[in-house]
Structure 1
Amino acid sequence: MTAYMVYVWDRIIDSEELKKYEEESSKVKVTGAKQPLAFYGRVETLEGPKVDGVTIVPFESMEAAKAAYNNPDYQKAMKHRLKGADYRVFITEGVK
C-alpha cells in the first residue's frame, strides 16, 4: 500500500545548512520513492501553528519510506536539515 512521507517545515534557523542538506540529499539513491506530490509550494495554515513549507513524497510502502529515511547517506545529509530548520517528519499510509 502506498505510504506518504510528509515533511513540515516550521521555521528556518540557518539557510546555509539547508543548502548543504539540499546538495547532499539530492545525491542519495532512494528505492521505492515516487514523484513528490508537493514540494515547498505556497502554504496557507488554517489551524494550528504557522507552517512555512511542506513536502509530500509517496513511497511504494511504509517499509520503503522507513528504509529511505534510515538510509545512512540520507541520515548524513539530514544532520544539515536539522541544523537548518525546525521540521516535523512523519509517514502515513494511504487509503486501501
Structure 2
Amino acid sequence: MTAYVVLIKEQTRDAEALAVYAGKATAARAGHALTPLALYGRYEQLEGEAAEGAVIISFPTMAEARAWYDSPAYQEALAHRQAGGDYRVFLIEGVDAAAA
C-alpha cells in the first residue's frame, strides 16, 4: 500500500544548514523508489497554526519509506535539517482507492 512521508516546516533557524540539507536530501533519493508530490509549493493555511511550508513524498510501501528515512545517506542529511529548522515529520499509509 502506498505510503507518504510528510514534512512540515514550522520555523527556519539556520538557512545555511537547510541549504546543505537540501543538497544531501536530494542525493539521498538514490536507490529509493520515491516520488516527490509537493516540495514547498504555494501554501494556503486553512486551519490551525501556520507553518512555513510542507513536503509530501510518496513511496510504494511503509517499509520503503522507513528504509529511505533510516538510510545512512538520509540520516546524514537529517542532521542538517534538524540544525536548520523545526519540523514535524510523519509517515502515513494511504488507502486502497478501489476500496475507498
Shift of 1:30: 4.0
**1:32-82 residue CA offsets vs partner (Å, 9 max, x unmatched):** 212x11110121222111111111010000000000000011101110000
Q: Does 1:80 align with 2:80?
A: yes
Correspondence for 2:15: 15
In 2: Cα distance, 1:57 partner to 1:78 partner: 15
The share of aligned pairs that are identical, in percent, is 43
The structure-2 alpha-carbon separation of the partners of 1:17 and 1:68, relative to structure 1 and needing over 3 Å to count, comes to same
Unaligned runs of 5+ in 2: none
TM-score (normalised: structure 1): 0.93
Q: AA paired with 1:32?
A: A
What is the one-letter code of the residue matched to 1:91? L
Q: 1:59 to 1:14 in 2, by over 3 A?
A: same
1:45 maps to what in 2? 45
For the residue of structure 1 that corresponds to 2:69, the secondary structure is helix
Per the alignment, residue 67 of structure 2 pairs with 67
**Number of equivalences:** 95
**SS of residue matched to 1:50:** coil
TM-score by length of 2: 0.89
Structure showing greater Rg? 2
